[in-house]
Amino acid sequence: MYWCVPYAFLGDWGFGVRLLNPRYVKNVLGKKTDVRDCQWLEKLASCGLAPECFAPPPGGSSR
């Protein structure tokens, strides 16, 4: 549940936040760096190869 606070915070600030299904992205190949993993996951998601999980709308504010 560590993702909840950053997810809500980034959503409140207008970032397009996606929660990806860990079953499909846990075995990211290559050297492990946050920057490379982030870029690879973004590419997978933009191609439709990493499906999103259900998550409530970030922030919960009524804008």
Residue with tokens 């499906």: 51
Q: For residue 9, tell me if it sits in a domain.
A: no
Chain-wide mean pLDDT for the chain? 76
The number of distinct structural domains making up the chain is 1
**Is there a contact between 12 and 60 (Cβ–Cβ < 8 Å)?**
no
Q: For residue 43, tell me if it sits in a domain.
A: yes
The answer to which of 5-14, 29-38, 43-52 has the lowest mean pLDDT is: 29-38
Q: For residue 24, tell me if it sits in a domain.
A: yes
Containing domain of residue 29, as a range?
15-50
Structure tokens, 36: 């490379």
Whether pLDDT at 42 is above 70: yes
Q: What's the whole-model pTM score?
A: 0.56
Q: For residue 19, tell me if it sits in a domain.
A: yes
Query: What's at 22, amino acid-wise?
Result: P
Predicted local distance difference test score (pLDDT) of residue 30 = 61
**Is there a contact between 17 and 58 (Cβ–Cβ < 8 Å)?**
yes
CA 6 to chain centre: 10
Q: For residue 36, tell me if it sits in a domain.
A: yes
